[in-house]
Amino acid sequence: MTELYRENLTLPGAPLGEDNPLPYFRNPQTNQPVNMLDSLPAEKKTLFGWETGFRVLPYRMQDNYTRQRRPLTLETLVLENEILKATFLPGLGGRLISLFDKSQGRELLNVNPVFQPANLAIRNAWFSGGIEWNAGQYGHSVNTCAPVFAARIEGLDGEPGLRLYEFERTRSLFWQIDFYLPSGSTFLVAHTRLANPNPRDTSAYWWTNIAVTETPDLRILAPAQQAIYVDFSQKSSAFGYTDLPGLPSLGGADGTYPLSSTFANEFFFQTDSCEMPWEAALDGQGSGLIEASTPFLKYRKLFLWGTHQGGRHWQEYLAPGNQPYCEIQAGLAPTQLHGLPLPANADWQWTQVFGFIQADPALVHGPDWSAALGAVENKLRERLTPARLEELDAAYRTKADAPGGEILAVGSGWGALELKRREKEVGSLPVPASFVFPETLLGKEQSKWLALLENERLPEQNPEETPGDWQVQPEWYELLRRSLEKSENQNWYAWLHLGVMALERFDETGARTAWEKSVELKPNAWAYRNLAVLAERQDDPEAALAFYEQAWQLTATNPNLALTREYLAALLAARHYEQARTIYKTLPAAFGQDDRLVLIRGRLALETGDFQTVEEVLAHDFAVIREGETELTDLWQDLWLKRKAGLTEQTANPALREQVLRDNPPPSRIDFRIFS
């Protein structure tokens, strides 16, 4: 018998805090540069890096959390049958945080005992553990630390199922996952769709990221003979092609054992020719988790943190007291840096399953790679053949369009606003009926844009308030642009938003004009800040500082934390140390524990030889250090160079520098490097 019910989960957690109010603009280099080795086949070079540059708008950054944890109670949704219990967090991207096999008495995933955000996602905040669903834009999803919709649905035999869904705003896409767990099933089934009901092509991204516990005898297997791997031997990493299971990046060692790597590493199994691609994480007994899919979800990946100091620190940092983990992943493209065109009005769907498997350990861990794969494949096909999975996929496609029943959790109000906009747009493409967004969720932020839609005017607000949420969708840009052609619709707030939309479209002239118009109508810190960012993009740091100063003067009596961070960082970069110190001394006490401001305090102290303050800074428990960021270890090294030799990175004799750093290695608690 299958049940779907609510359950509360209480665990130590760090609250996310308020979203950053400032817009973070798209990277003008929309295609990431990728170094490719000669071993990479021509067909694997196509679309490598395409449309994978940083992009987060209209979403805001989530960077105001700390490492101060307290008891948090999170609502979960549980889908359970006689064999499996699947627990989801609808308030945090729909993360599947636990998949417990009752028949084995065994947890199949790596379960994080805390909720501790860290700076690894598109919007900054991310947490480890369980299974994460990543849609839309390259990176950990914009929804990974945000609520999504959940609704009750009905399975093929009338049993309850669970639907997760949302409107993804960076690319105006809709994603949906229907979960089924029929009575007696040993697999959790996920039927996924990625829909582009728009008149324009876009790029697509999907990766299912699965955290599994990393043990000394763990082996990761997927039915591929070749992999795309990352070569780190050059100054910048490069992608190559190799036969499995050995990796050139490991000197030919077997990369399918996560602990064989001394550094953070990843490689992509090229499973594109499989009838039923799968990936398994199996222990020394040949048992563990397996996932499999219809062939549309073609590729598989292994990510691991490595056994070096930085990698071990990341493990403890993300999940204090937990066992180490690695990630097995499933995606649509050969690597995560491959773009994938999603045509106008396309509706992509596939089916994926997750469950326990036991195979012959002698074969799983034997020297014959093909035999190891065959041992797992044979056991999988005893329970699920490619033909049967295709039948399930076809059956679940027939149910994918049906609206869900009871809404069990709600996401944002932006999906409801998008449906309203489409109602008014002549000839708009229909959104599948499964995407139900109640109008009751149209809140304060959506009401501004609803006013533009219905009254052709974006309302003005007090410039001392934070601007709220942003909007960059092409259709909203046209609506706002046309409204500002009328003199009665002029206001600082509308021009502020038009400028944000313009720069996100790489129209620097239009952005400058809009923000200059905004401050002309009413001086406001938000437009001045954006003009500063534009000046930085145009390599004019002095102009940027002048704009930041104007923004600061408008907020000095009630400083905004995000703006303060940026202004002080700009002063530091320009070596305006005295001015930065003067401003720092005026800040509210509440700003004193902010990570970025603490780091600035350390840099200012180092300039004056205040080593005690630098040590106090380095003792701070930092929460928002980015993956691979070296600012803390750099500060540590600069401290010891000055303390021991009175030198800097630029002036130290190389031999002396190496001796000082060798004698004074950074402690693990500040080591976030990919390599140590």
CA distance 163 to 180: 9
Task: Report the helix count and the strand count for the chain, using DSSP H and E.
Answer: 18, 25
Lowest mean pLDDT among 395-399, 464-468, 656-660, 667-671: 656-660
What DSSP assignment string belongs to 169-195? Answer: TTTTEEEEEEEE--TT-SEEEEEEEEE
Task: Answer whether the bond into residue 58 is a cis peptide, omega within 30°.
Answer: yes
Using alpha carbons only, give the angle 288, 291, 294 rounded to the nearest 5 degrees: 160
* Residues 6 or more apart whose Cβ sits within 8 Å of residue 402: 153, 433, 434
Question: At residue 193, what are phi and psi to the nearest 5 degrees?
Answer: -135, 145
What digits encode the pLDDT tens for the residues 308-351? 888 888 899 999 988 999 999 999 999 999 999 999 999 999 99
SS3 217: coil
In the block, tokens 């899919």 appear at 293
Task: Give mean pLDDT, residues 548-558.
Answer: 95
Q: Which of 207, 239, 228 is nearest to 270 (CA)?
A: 228
What digits encode the pLDDT tens for the residues 359-379? 999 999 999 999 999 999 999
Instruction: Check for a shared fold between 3-66+75-400 and 443-524.
Output: no
What digits encode the pLDDT tens for the residues 581-608? 999 999 999 998 999 999 999 999 999 9
Percentage of residues in the chain with pLDDT exceeding 90? 89
SS3 19: coil
Q: Which of 205, 187, 199, 85 is nearest to 139 (CA)?
A: 205
What CATH number labels 443-524?
1.25.40
Residue spans of the domains in the chain: they are 3-66+75-400, 443-524, 556-676
* pLDDT above 90 for 426: no
CA distance 167 to 410: 12
pLDDT-based confidence at residue 652 (cuts at 50, 70, 90): low
What digits encode the pLDDT tens for the residues 271-286? 999 999 999 999 999 9
Q: Are strands 287-293 and 278-282 parallel, antiparallel or unpaired?
A: antiparallel
Using alpha carbons only, give the angle 61, 66, 72 rounded to the nearest 5 degrees: 100
CA distance 517 to 17: 32
Question: b/e for 406-436, b at 16 or more Cβ within 10 A?
Answer: ebbbbbbbbbbbbbbbeeeeeebeebbebbb
Structure tokens at 570: 């700009």
Question: b/e for 73-103, b at 16 or more Cβ within 10 A?
Answer: ebbbbbbbbebbbbbbbbbbbbbbbbbbbee
* Residues 6 or more apart whose Cβ sits within 8 Å of residue 578: none
pTM reported for the whole predicted model: 0.95
Specify the pLDDT at position 675: 63
* pLDDT above 80 for 129: yes
Beta-bridge mates of residue 146: none
* Residues 6 or more apart whose Cβ sits within 8 Å of residue 191: 177, 178, 179, 180, 349, 350, 351, 393, 396, 397, 400
CA distance 133 to 352: 12
CA distance 225 to 202: 32
CA distance 147 to 159: 25
Backbone Cα Rg of the chain:
26
The enclosing H or E element of 451 equals helix 444-455
pLDDT-based confidence at residue 236 (cuts at 50, 70, 90): confident
In a 10 Å sphere around its CB, with 0-12 CB exposed, 13-18 middle and 19+ buried, how is residue 235 labelled?
Answer: exposed
The amino acid occupying position 538 is Q
* pLDDT above 60 for 634: yes
Class for the domain spanning 3-66+75-400: mainly beta
Question: At residue 287, what are phi and psi to the nearest 5 degrees?
Answer: -125, 155
